[in-house]
Structure 1
Amino acid sequence: MSRPDIAVTGLGAVTPAGIGLEAAWRQVCQGTPTAATDPSLAGLPVDFSCRIPEFDIGAVIGRRKLWRLDRFTQLALAAADEAVHDAGLDPHTWDGARVGVVIGCGLGGARTWEAQHVRMEGLGPEAVSPMLIPMLVPNMAAGEIALALGARGPSLVAATACASGASALSVAQDWLASDRCDVVVAGGTESGSTRLMVTGFHRAGALSTRRDDPAGASRPFAADRDGFVMAEAAAILILERARDARARGVRPRALLAGTAASSDAHHPTDPHPHGAGAQSAMLVALADAGLSARDVDHVNAHATSTPKGDAVEADVISRMFPHRPSVTSNKGALGHSLGAAGALEAALTVLSIQQSTVPPTANVDAPAPEFDLDLVTKTSRAQNIRAAASNSFGFGGHNVVVILTHG
């Protein structure tokens, strides 16, 4: 039996560019970075990040629940609210038993964990919140979305480090194709720019140390890249079978044509030196979509601005796609939102397809000379995109590739 087409019908996001996916789209198209000195990181070797601007999140998700939710869950709820409305769906009228929720998250409630540890050490065990556990466990992003939307189908959180958001989309595709759900709320969320987490990534050698130039620190594929910039974000995509969307009068924004995952089985944090796992995921994702490598017009690269990671990905892209499709990385503008990144970049790729526009890679005039890439830099490029690949890779050797096509 042929698999049904899976449609993207709704998008929502909260990012360092502002509230709503449109704000993120404007920021990446302008090529303007959001990284800045972060007062909460004062005194640390890395004291900058990409933070979401202050906004009244209680007005979006309800003030009465704020006290019991960590920020990563709050952001996920805000993005889900936008995405559901964008899809033209009404949780009051849908069949909740046929609605699933799958969210990617790498760290969970890091803010709550650190704050409550400080309280226990300073004030004793009785000062620890009784809500500590439900606030910090990663699955609560999916659990709280299901609660808010009355989604009674399957729900879970995918944790594949920086590939988590893309892993969530792959799971959602399977649920829809196997008829377990009619609608899936899928995406990723992360708010991990805490003192301990930032210090941990710095000690691992993963972060840029450009304290004198935070805005210019995230430099994907640049010759002088030196690490990524931590960011917080949430992004949600509403997925349905395309025939169901059209039956209710909704034209898909794009089609989730194929997904694939692989493992490097090489090193806890370093990518495979030849990108074997990444290439395998690309090949299988294309086969899943029924496409050849030459059908891909655009690649939204994982490209975090780390020396090893960008080099391996550039090599794999040039091997896989010798016809040199356009390449961009949104992390130059928005930083690296870890578990949310794969979903956010897939959502932005949907907009690239819809609007025939490839945003530039911020902070880069040209790729490093050893990279054979058609990297879009400086200004956005008008381009008709039939099919695009969105890459996501994570610590642990996780590789996830998502193929999106015109709806």
Structure 2
Amino acid sequence: MTRANISQSISVVHPLTLSHGKNAEVWDTSGKRYIDFMGGIGVLNLGHCNPAVVQAIQAQAEKLTHYAFNAVPHDPYLRFMDRLEAFVPVSYPLSGMLTNSGAEAAENALKIVRAVTGRTAVIAFDGGFHGRTLATLNLNGKVAPYKQKVGVLPGAVYHVPYPSKDTGVTTEQGLKAIERLFSVEIDIDEVACFIIEPVQGEGGFLALEPEFAVALRKLCDAHGILLIADEIQSGFGRTGQRFAFTRLGIEPDLILLGKSIAGGIPLGAVVGRKTLLDTLPKGGLGGTYSGNPIGCAAGLASLEQMSDDNLALWGQRQEQAIVNRYRRWQEARVSPYLGRLTGTGCMRGIELMTPQGTPGSAQLAQLLGLARDAGLLLMPSGKSRHIIRLLPPLTTEPEILEEGLDIFERCLAALD
């Protein structure tokens, strides 16, 4: 899709123009219907135009559309933070600030860890993704296209392998890579934090090894290093739980939030130990639009639907449908390009590989087009753009989910 007044540096996955949507279905401007397995890239866990979210937006728009919280506090911000504090499953006193996006949450987290530790070095992981702003670019464990042509990036950032059954990197290998880093590249006493996704999103829905997470937590505690969990994509029920870090048996010091936090309205947050969030001087945190009243109202309506029972029901139903269908495809040998099923819970990716054992990047590109023509929108991921990440709304009707998987199967079988 080419428009002279839109930057050509924006990459578009599907060259069509959407008109409207309802739960897991969207329609383009020509009236064609699609089943949405992209969810606005993980933003719509509760579906398009969720009725409770829409109602909350409409009601708030009649009361107060905007106020900068750092100028004058407003009630939606206060109520949402109370609800968010109760929703984040940690044992310590929690505090936080609202932002406009996940990337902005990451930027503010970097400010906080510098203030707390007096250190600047950050360790991130291969395949990770934390945003598109200048500082977060350096955190990303992938060069193309994010770091190309932007020159020297801010901050000292080092990358190590991501231990996961999905990557083949073991806990022992991950810890040895960190040991080597401290021996060869950077003094451990200069490291402010580790930042890690409990399940990588852009990386291809790769689930962190719990054993490694526990060892990393111990390492951080022993050396005064903070641990940041990026739950921007994996949070708010994407795995079938509130947050993915709970399956790891650890508590992070700071947690980055965004995407499905507010049903499609721009909102993010950095939350964590109150002692950390209170370190910067007055005025050190804030922002004009951070915690906009309409975003807070949408966030509150979203959280009220995300009970543990609802998330478990939605997650189990979706996980069972995806896993069962994948196993059937394997047994029937639907396609020679069908690779592994990645991820955990209902946060799943489907890998395409060639018979020669190389990433099926060309086949994935073909699959995107075939599925789109058949009425299914899919999202690519992975270092080689060879993993389909499945992001249907958690609230997708079972018959719609099955219809989407039927289309996926037919397109997978048609790959050449």
TM-score range (shorter-chain normalised) is under 0.3
What is the TM-score with the length of structure 2 in the denominator?
A: 0.25
Max radius of gyration: which structure? 2
Report the TM-score, using the length of structure 1 for normalisation. Answer: 0.25
